[in-house]
Amino acid sequence: MTSTIDNWQPRIRVLTVIVIAALLAGLGVWNEITTWQRLVLSSNNRLLETARAIGLHTDDVFALAEQPLAQLALKAQIVRQDQRPEAALLEDMQSLRRSSTFLNEIIYIQADGTVSHSRPDAMATTAELSLEEYSGFHRSHASTDTHIGTAVRSKSGKDWLLPVSRRIDAPDGSFAGVLLATIRLDHFARFIESFDLRGDTAFYLVHSEGGVLLRYPFWARSVEADLGDREFFQDQGPAKQQGNHEYRLQSGESRLSGYYYSPDTRVTAIVTRSKSALFHNWVTRSKYPWACLIAAYVVGLGITFRWLRQIRLREIGDRKVAAREAEFRLIANASSDVIEKHSMAGIREYVSPAAAILFEQAPETLIGKNVTDGQDEATRTAWRSAQLRLQSGSLAETILAQRQRADGSVIWLESVLSCVRSENGAPADGIVVVTRDVTRQETAKRELDTLAVTDELTGLFNKRYFSQHLQTVLSESPGAPVSLLLLDLDRFKQFNDTYGHLPGDNCLRDVANAIRSALPESGAVAARFGGEEMAVLLPGFGQAASLLLAEKLRRAVEALKIAHEANAPSGIVTISIGLCVLPKGHSETSETLIVSADQALYEAKSQGRNRIALSAVPAPPLKQFAAI
């Protein structure tokens, strides 16, 4: 009985999770369907309110446009009856156009085809209208009601205009002409843009006779583009006056709309938007609840499988750990590198036999001791920092340290530390350390580093290192006093011409050794600056100390007594020295220091050689000095 219950328990848990997940999914679906219905209803209401506002605004605009046409029609009849000059009518046309905020132009088309414009720039501003078409329309229609045309572009192509026309009758009732006004649609555009609607929204003005008067956004190819179910709006608009309508375009896109019919102008204002955009909003809002339901379902399944297989996984894990430890010890015992297992606190738990050679200690004597025992302070700090970084999540750390052997020799040891992490994501329970002897590699590296900054001939630093060191001194101690000596062997070209280049190289080496021997033990840096020119940087040296050292260097070279017949009058190798001193509180750059020292060297040469010339940078003002 108990065995049967135990067999059914995993299935019961799975069914429980599935039922809960189904309930959550059902709640989510019901909630999102309700949300979708609310979104559609809210969007329809908003479209209807927007269409009503645009329709009422259109009535106002057309009413304001009809007033000047009615006035001008009456004036035109009076002009014809009294046979007055048409200049008065043209003047009224211009005055009414200027006073209106909506009208772009007023055109008077007489019965004989004569056309008068209210604007002097009519050729540039007149819309692409067929004036004969409007004249013919009103000639065949005796009604004096205002006729609204279809939106067209101006000749400049920049503006959209809506034509509004009115018939003028002669006293006998015959056709006497047409008054045509064009309304700038940018006013409609600004009014429409004041509504906070989505980018897929479209606006239409449709006449009851079937013509599309306006589409916004404007389309260059056709104002009628993308209207859709026009017949519905023509038939239902006058009958119902306002409402909502859903229709489908030829492309298959479903659109929602709100419409408002004005009985005064017989124009229907229509506002539409894509239903797919609403659906996208619905999906966007619904994906998070659905994600929660799916996550709950997945978590439930994971918990169920974990319960069922927990014991089995633990047994498999224990066997894997045992096999891994055996493999690890086999590899460690055969390796020439020292392989250790530490606790997270740094206590050695295992040490491979190679420690007897590399550490000169038996492995068993190291087990149970902290890795920092017997180390110098710098090494202890490096180990502790590496352990902290590993505990913080670092995958591996490397420590390079020196160790003194029993015979007094020093070796370099590189230790690579890696955390032992379990597969189930539990915190690390130990550190594996692999240590190897890198003395040969480290020695070679340091020799290469030395060669990279040293002049091969003289053994002094090269110009590249000297320039970097000068920049470092000025940036790390801004405003501190510093001096620069530029030294040049006098008439060294003649020395090479007289004795040859090999003695010349020997001479440079001897001079470099003399300079190196005369420098203080710390602080000063000497470098070969190029050819027979050398430089000495003296951080912290003032003018007096720098002059004393410069004289010491000059005498040291002179004391070598290297024969140089072309260097009169001494007949031996001598040097000229240019000295530049930057006082405390200076704000000079390395370029200023080098240029000033070079100028001083030139001055020493011009004064007869084998001497020192000083080029001191003026001290800063007292206020600046006091602030430093």
Cα angle 78, 83, 86 (rounded to 5 degrees) comes to: 80
Q: Which residues contact 170 (CB under 8 A, 6 or more apart)?
A: 77, 80, 111, 176
Identify the burial level of 531 via C-beta atoms within 10 angstroms of its C-beta, where 0-12 means exposed, 13-18 middle and 19 or more buried: exposed
End-to-end CA distance of the chain: 92
Tell me whether residue 447 is one of the annotated catalytic residues: no
Q: Which residue has the tokens 């119902």?
A: 240
Q: Quick count: other Cβ atoms within 10 Å of Cβ 390? A: 18
Whether 158 and 147 have beta carbons less than 8 Å apart is answered as: no
Alpha-carbon gap, residue 614 to 608, rounded angstroms: 15
Q: In b/e form, how buried is each residue of 30-40, taking b as 16+ CB within 10 angstroms?
A: eebeeebeebb
| CA dihedral sign, ordered 230, 236, 241, 245 | negative
Q: Is the peptide bond before 217 cis (omega within 30 degrees of 0)?
A: yes
- Other CB atoms within a 10 A radius of the CB of residue 138 amount to 23
10 Å CB burial of residue 197 (0-12, 13-18, 19+) is: middle
Residue 281 token pair: 């909003």
d(CA 470, CA 537): 7
The kind and range of the H/E element at 453 are helix 439-453
> Which among 455, 453, 476 has a CA at the least distance from the CA of 465?
453
Residue 473 tokens read as 């001194």
Residues 6+ apart with CB under 8 A from 578: 485, 486, 488, 597, 598, 599, 600, 601, 602, 603, 604, 612, 613, 615
Tokens of 171: 């006293």
Instruction: Find residue 576's DSSP bridge partners.
Output: 488
From residue 176, alpha-carbon distances to 77, 81, 156, 179, 555 in Å are 8, 11, 31, 10, 121
Q: Among 105, 340, 397, 532, which one carries the catalytic annotation?
A: 532
Enter the tokens of residue 536. Answer: 């000495």
**φ and ψ of 268, to 5 deg:** -105, 125
Q: Are strands 348-351 and 338-342 parallel, antiparallel or unpaired?
A: antiparallel
Instruction: Count other Cβ atoms within 10 Å, centred on residue 549.
Output: 21
Which residue is listed with tokens 């101006």? Answer: 154
Cα(272)–Cα(229) distance, integer angstroms: 11
Q: What residues are labeled active site?
A: 532
